[in-house]
Amino acid sequence: MTQLAMDILTKPRLVRVVSNDNDRPSQLSIVRDSFLKHPGTRWTAYQLALAVGVVVGRKVSDSGITARIRDLRKPQHGGLDIRCAKLPGQESRVYWLEP
């Protein structure tokens, strides 16, 4: 596991929104914290899904992560300016928050 993934999993949360699952942070709060703690870092939905899955203790889909990213762009969830670009020669997209 990379140091960046370890930081996401072990450092205190900036915002903690608790899900109904045994006082674990929600997917939304984990994705939000990832972007806020590491602005400028480019993430694929797959990378975020792995990190979120470790924290919540179950597999998380890429489509679920992209839905949380869409949520974070909405004013009621912070209105973050999360950018997106397609990787050259691949179907994957990368997402980042401008520093």
Domain for residue 49, yes or no? Answer: yes
Q: How far, in Å, CA of 17 to CA of 14, rounded?
A: 10
Domain for residue 17, yes or no? Answer: no
Domain for residue 13, yes or no? Answer: no
Give 18's pLDDT tier (boundaries 50, 70, 90). very low
Domain for residue 12, yes or no? Answer: no
Domain for residue 81, yes or no? Answer: yes
Give 2's pLDDT tier (boundaries 50, 70, 90). low
Mean per-residue pLDDT, 75-97: 93
Mean per-residue pLDDT, 82-86: 95
> What pLDDT digit, counting tens, does each position of 20-73 carry?
555 678 999 999 999 999 999 999 999 999 999 998 889 999 999 999 999 999
Pair 14, 36: CB distance under 8 Å: yes
Residue 6: both structure tokens together: 């370890």
Mean per-residue pLDDT, 5-9: 59
Q: Pick the more confident residue, 59 or 15.
A: 59
CATH number reported for the structural domain that contains residue 62 in this entry = 1.10.10.10
CA atoms within 13 Å, Cβ hemisphere of 87:
11
Q: How far, in Å, CA of 99 to CA of 81, rounded?
A: 10
Q: How far, in Å, CA of 82 to CA of 67, rounded?
A: 13
Total structural domains within the chain: 1
Domain for residue 30, yes or no? Answer: yes
**Owning domain of residue 76:** 3-7+25-97
Domain for residue 42, yes or no? Answer: yes
Domain for residue 31, yes or no? Answer: yes
Residue 11 backbone class (left: φ over 0; alpha: ψ -120 to 50; beta: rest)? beta
